[in-house]
Amino acid sequence: MNDVDARVDLSGFSAEYLGGASAALAQVELRIGAGESVLITGPSGSGKSTLALCLTGFIPNAVYARLSGGIRVCGVEPAAQGVYDMARRVGLVQQDAEGQFCTMRVEDEAAFGPENLMCSEAEIERRVSGALELAGAAHLAGRALAELSGGEKQRVAIASVLAMQPQLLVLDEPAAHLDPRATRSVADSLRAIQRDSGLSIVILEHKPWRFAGAARRMVRLEQGRVVYDGPTKCDRPGRMRSPAANGPLLGGGEPLLSVRGLKHSYGGRGGRPALAGVDLDVGRGEIVGVMGDNGSGKTTLLRSIMGTVKTQAGRVMLGGDDVSALPVSSRASRIGMVFQNPNHQLFTDSVWREVVVGPLARGRSSQECRPAALSLLRRFGLAHMCDRHPLTLSFGEKRRLNLAAAMVSDPDLLMLDEPFAGQDLERAEDLAGLLGEVADAGKGVLLVGHDPDIMAWCCHRVVFLEAGRVVLDGPASNVMAELAGRGERDYVCSV
C-alpha cells in the first residue's frame, strides 16, 4: 500500500490517559487503505473508542491523553490539524449519538454539516435526502430529535455524518442501540456505501457477526494491543453459560410492580402516541425483558414507571402502593434505574465518588457506603479505576459504573435500559448473572434489550411491544418461538 493510498497509518502508536493503570493503546501498527472496510473488535475497554477519538483528533484536542508514535489520517496528523478540520476528512458516529447532535430536528441535524461547509441550498437538500435514505432514517424526516428512541437517534447521527461526504467513516458500536432489524438495515447500507463509493469505513463492534459481509478484514484489540489482523471472522458464539434466569420464581402474593393502562403521547393529548394502554406486572424474584423495534415505546415505558415522563393516563403500583402521583425523588428511594445514555447519570469527577454520591446525598456516611461500593466496583471490574474521571471510561465501563451506582442503595426494583449495549459477551454474561443474583434476593428486574440470545438466556419473561402496545407477553422461550413463527427472523435466537 502506497502512502498516498493510506487513509489510516499508525506506527508504534500509543495513547495513555492520566490516572490510567496502563496505556489505552500500546504500540499499535495499523494501515487502512482508500476504499477499504475494516472491522475492529475486542472486549470492553480494549481501546476501540480511544482509537476512534484519536483518528478524529478529539484526542488530545478535546479529551486529553498522552500520545506517542506516529499517526496520519487522510494524509494529515489529527492532533496538529484540529477537530474542525478533521471533520472534513473523517466522519465519526459515536456510541452516544445524542452527544453529537447540534440541532433540534432530524433534517436540520443532517443539514448542519453541509451548511457549515457553505454548500448551496440545492446541494444541501440533495445531501440530506441521500444521507437519510442511506442510513435508513428517511421515515424520521420532520421529527424532533428529542422524541426519537436511542436507535432512531443512532440512524440520524449516521446520516448527519454521511452528509459531510468524508473520506473516512468511523462508527463506534453502531448497533449498540439498534434493534435486530435496524442492525441488518445499517449493515446493508454500509455494504452499499463501501461498494458504490471510495469511502473507507472503520466499524468498531463487540459482536462482529452483526456486520458479516460489511468488511473483509478484521482487527482485534486486547488491552490496547493488536492481537489479530486478517480475514474477518464473524462466527456467532455458541451456547452461553448456564442461564441467569434458571432459578425458581418466588411467586405468590401480589406483584412487586403492577402497571395498568399507561398512556403517553409526545406533544400531549392528540400527539404521536408512544404508549397506548400498557399493562405489565413484575414479580419479586422475576427478570422481565422488554423488546421491540426502535420507537416501539420501550424507553418511554421505563421512564413512565420512574416518573421522568408524565403519562396522560394509567396507574403504577409498587409493592401494593400507588406511586402514580409521587415525584421522581420519592420513587428513586425504591427504584434503581440505569438510563440508555450512560453520560446522563455521570455527575462527579471520579469513579469512586460516582458510586457513593447517592447514598451520601441521603445522609449515609462514607464508612457505611464503602463495603457495598467496593464490592460492586470489584464485581464490575472497575476497582482499579477509582481515581479515573468517569468521562474517560469506555461506553461499556460507563454502563457498568451506572449500574453500580444504581445498585449500591439496594432498591426493591431495578430497571435497566439496554444494559448490554457496549458490553462484550463475557461482560454481558457476567452482568446477566448478577441480575440473576438480584432476582434471587427477592428483587424485581425490568430491562430493555435488543439481543435475542442474551434476552432469552437472561429473562424469565419477555414483553414485546409494537407501536406502544403489548403484543406478546410470556415465558422468554415461548415469546421467541412465537416471533420465529411470525417470520421475525431478525429476532430468532442462534442457540
Helix (H, G, I), strand (E, B) or coil at 455: helix
CB atoms inside a 10 Å sphere around CB 238 = 7
Q: For domain 3-231, which architecture applies?
A: 3-Layer(aba) Sandwich (3.40)
Cβ within 8 Å of residue 241, ≥6 positions away: 429, 433
Q: What is the pLDDT of residue 248?
A: 46
User: How far is Cα 383 from Cα 375, in angstroms, rounded to an integer?
Assistant: 9
Phi–psi pair at 89, nearest 5 degrees: -105, -40
Evaluate whether 32 touches 18 at the Cβ level (below 8 Å). no
Question: Which cell numbers hold the place of 339?
Answer: 438510563
- Domain range annotation of the chain: 3-231, 257-334+411-491
Tell me the per-residue pLDDT of 29-78, one tens digit each, with 9 for 90 and over.
Answer: 999 999 899 999 998 889 998 999 999 999 999 888 999 999 999 999 99
Q: How many residues does the chain have?
A: 495
Cα–Cα nearest to 313, from 262, 260, 274, 258: 262
Question: Same CATH topology for 3-231 and 257-334+411-491?
Answer: yes
User: How far is Cα 150 from Cα 418, in angstroms, rounded to an integer?
Assistant: 10
Evaluate whether 60 touches 18 at the Cβ level (below 8 Å). no
Residues of the chain with pLDDT under 70: 1-5, 150, 234-253, 267-270, 422, 494-495
Question: Dihedral of CA 362/299/376/99: which sign?
Answer: negative
Degrees to nearest 5, angle at CA 57 with 56 and 63: 115
Question: Dihedral of CA 257/405/381/183: which sign?
Answer: positive
- H-type alpha helices, 139-292: 150-162, 180-196
Which CATH number is associated with domain 257-334+411-491? 3.40.50.300
Q: Which residues of 257-282 are buried (b: 16+ CB within 10 A; e: fewer)?
A: bbbeebbbbeeeeeeebbbbebebbb
Q: What is the pLDDT of residue 5?
A: 63
User: How far is Cα 257 from Cα 242, in angstroms, rounded to an integer?
Assistant: 27
